[in-house]
Amino acid sequence: MFVLETILYFAYHVLLLPFGVLLSFAFSSVALLQKKNGVVLGGLVLFCGALQLAAYLVFDELMVWKIYPLITHVPTVLVLCLRYHKGVVTALCAVSSAYLCCQPPRWMGILTASLTKSAVAGHVVSILVLLPVAALIFWYIAPTLSKLFHKDIKSVLIFGAVPLAYYLYDYSMGIYTDFWTNNNRVVIEFLPFLLCVAFFLFCIVYYEQYEQKADTEQKEQLIRIAVEQQSRE
């Protein structure tokens, strides 16, 4: 049973690599159906996979998770910035959003393992959930996010604040420190606090853009009425 659990555990994390890179490219408006972009994506997945394998052979698992951003996320950001000329903020938001999208399969697996008392069942569910989640995000969410992440930096930061903050929160509290295991109330309450702040900032930005759009439409309508009036006269 332990061998099967280990195989499923690594199989799930092997699948997460192309899942995360694919979504990072999609969120950055990279045309995935173009052959040359597919080659770049495949090369990046193989490169990061080789780095991860080398890390597992040299370090223990905890150390691999600590350097995971350096061997996976940083190369992805560099490719998006250097190869596709995306802004650093856009690339960071895209990668952190892809990281956030890994949580639904992970949570479903944890829930299953908790209910069934079986780690094997949890890994199986995580793997099975991963594909439909990827399809859902790719077809329905990625087109919208890719447009949002190509607005001005202020808007990108507002929309990308939650994924970026969650990324930093997850690594700082769960991997680089043991605050999660200590049940620190400050740590537990920080994420709801962050979501609250992000929500109000989003409301402010959305309202400002809505007002600007309404004001522009009103001015255009007044100009149209004035032109029509002059034509009649």
* Residue-wise pLDDT tens digits, 156-180: 887 888 888 888 888 887 788 776 6
Q: Which residue has the tokens 């680089």?
A: 176
Cβ atoms within 10 Å, residue 57: 8
Counting residues of the chain whose pLDDT is more than 70, the rounded percentage is 89
Q: What is the CA radius of gyration of the chain?
A: 22
pLDDT of residue 185: 62
Q: Assess whether pLDDT exceeds 90 at residue 76.
A: yes
Q: 112 CB contacts (<8 Å, ≥6 apart)?
A: 118, 121, 122, 124, 125, 126
